[in-house]
């Protein structure tokens, strides 16, 4: 190992001990008689203090010539210093430069010189050196970790489904085609069909965290063409059951992030309010009535616009569900009510700012499912591999999918969803 500690692992109680730190030269402050180097690693910043008259002239000269953002290793002793970051400073005996950074830098990781988001994304490897950007992805890690913990504890099995498919998962045309040997295939819109097939396979409870692809020509602050989705499917339950699971998960993730990411949340200047369960539930009809304050011409059976969602979010003011949607605007696999087939057992989970998740109790009857596929203008033959699973004993089941980036964006009050994914893919960006 080239180091003995991360910066966060040292405390003033280590005073007098020798340590070795490794990271990037964040900043240099040369006051003449004293020289401060700030070494940054992923855990924070350490102050390297060189008293020039008392130090080896070769060490002083070397330290003054190191370009910012060069990779360095510092060996030295710890000294308690209340004014320094983390309450200590390092008095160095050796400084080695492992990789010298060119100048000028493409952007300033200290944040003192601002850069627009496109510039930051063009040099994402440099942008992630910023404590703020790193903190976003540290929180994202704990969102994923807490999700896996929660669902595993609930008896779910993690699965991995294909991302190259022969037919549309959701129907429609929002697909990225690709050449697959001698035939056409597509990037998958969601794991929906495969997780349902696993209900016929006896898995009972499954989840997947993986990429989804939507060839939609959106160019907004909350849409991506490649995103990450948390998907679950569960047998012998209704849509009410999986709504309860979803709200429990969201509250659990907030709680664990709050406990485990204190330093990152401070860096982001965020204080999390853990959502209270159960979440408010309103029907689609009630949502339409609220939305007509800003969309007077909105008709029953139409999807909600961004303006409509914003108005409803202002009215509710917290996480909430919209339930009982028109069957005609939900996917073919959503279960209609027996006495009111024009309404289906579907739901959307909403944050006041945007939709986070959607789900439903699924149709588990072969005949009805085939009929619904036909009613939506799709060819059942294209879904034969999927429909086959419904012919030999499919239990009642329900599930949902939730966008990781949208959950993170709303949790951290970020303005653009591209901040929530390392290398965004949208209409204009396919590199880096």
**Which active-site residues does the annotation give?**
214, 216, 222-223, 355, 358, 406
Q: How do the residues of the chain divide into helix, strand and coil, expressed in percent and rounded to 5?
A: 35, 30, 40
Give which of 48, 57, 52 is closest to 27, Cα–Cα: 48
The DSSP line for 309-338 is HHHHHHHH-S-EEEEEEEGGGS-TTBPBPS
Separation between Cα atoms, residue 81 and residue 89, nearest integer Å:
6
CB 73 within 8 A of CB 2: yes
d(CA 292, CA 311): 9
3-state class (DSSP) for residue 15: coil
Cα angle 394, 399, 400 (rounded to 5 degrees) comes to: 150
Q: Which residues touch 65 (CB under 8 Å, ≥6 apart)?
A: none
* 3-state DSSP assignment of residue 113: coil
| Dihedral of alpha carbons 265, 270, 271, 273, sign | negative
Rounded Cα distance between 238 and 360, Å, is 8
């Amino acid at each position: 190992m080239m180091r003995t500690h991360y910066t966060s692992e040292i405390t003033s109680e280590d005073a007098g001990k020798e340590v070795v730190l490794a990271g990037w030269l964040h900043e240099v402050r040369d006051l003449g008689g004293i020289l401060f180097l700030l070494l940054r690693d992923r855990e924070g910043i350490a102050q390297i203090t060189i008293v020039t008259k008392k130090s080896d002239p070769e060490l002083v000269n070397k330290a003054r010539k190191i370009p910012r953002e060069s990779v360095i290793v510092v060996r030295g002793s710890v000294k308690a210093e209340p004014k320094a970051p983390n309450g200590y400073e390092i008095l160095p005996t050796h400084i080695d430069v492992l990789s010298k950074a060119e100048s000028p830098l493409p952007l300033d990781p200290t944040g003192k010189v601002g850069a627009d988001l496109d510039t930051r994304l063009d040099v994402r490897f440099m942008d992630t050196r910023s404590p703020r950007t790193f903190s976003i992805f540290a929180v994202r890690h704990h969102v994923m970790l807490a999700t896996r913990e929660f669902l595993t504890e609930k008896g779910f099995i993690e699965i991995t489904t294909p991302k190259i498919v022969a037919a549309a998962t959701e129907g429609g045309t929002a697909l990225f085609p690709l050449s697959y040997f001698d035939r056409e295939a597509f990037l998958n819109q969601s794991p929906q069909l495969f997780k349902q097939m696993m209900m016929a396979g006896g898995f009972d409870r499954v989840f997947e965290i993986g990429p989804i692809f939507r060839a939609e020509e959106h160019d907004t602050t909350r849409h991506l063409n490649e995103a990450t989705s948390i998907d679950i499917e569960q047998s012998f339950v209704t849509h009410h059951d999986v709504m309860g699971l979803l709200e429990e998960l969201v509250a659990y993730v907030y709680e664990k992030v709050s406990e485990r990411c204190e330093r990152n949340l401070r860096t982001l200047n965020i204080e999390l309010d853990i959502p209270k369960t159960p979440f408010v539930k309103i029907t689609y009809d009630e949502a339409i009535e609220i939305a007509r304050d800003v969309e007077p011409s909105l008709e029953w059976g139409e999807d909600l616009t961004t303006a409509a969602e914003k108005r409803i979010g202002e009215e509710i003011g917290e996480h909430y569900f919209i339930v009982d949607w028109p069957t005609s605007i939900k996917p073919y696999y959503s279960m209609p009510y027996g006495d009111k087939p024009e309404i289906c057992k579907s739901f959307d989970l909403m944050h006041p700012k945007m939709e986070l998740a959607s789900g439903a109790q699924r149709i588990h009857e072969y005949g009805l499912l085939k009929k619904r596929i036909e009613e939506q203008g799709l060819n059942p033959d294209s879904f034969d591999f999927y429909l086959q699973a419904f012919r030999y004993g499919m239990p009642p089941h329900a599930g949902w999918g939730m966008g990781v980036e949208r959950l993170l964006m709303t949790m951290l009050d970020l303005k653009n969803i591209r901040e929530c994914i390392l290398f965004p893919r949208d209409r204009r960006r396919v590199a880096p």
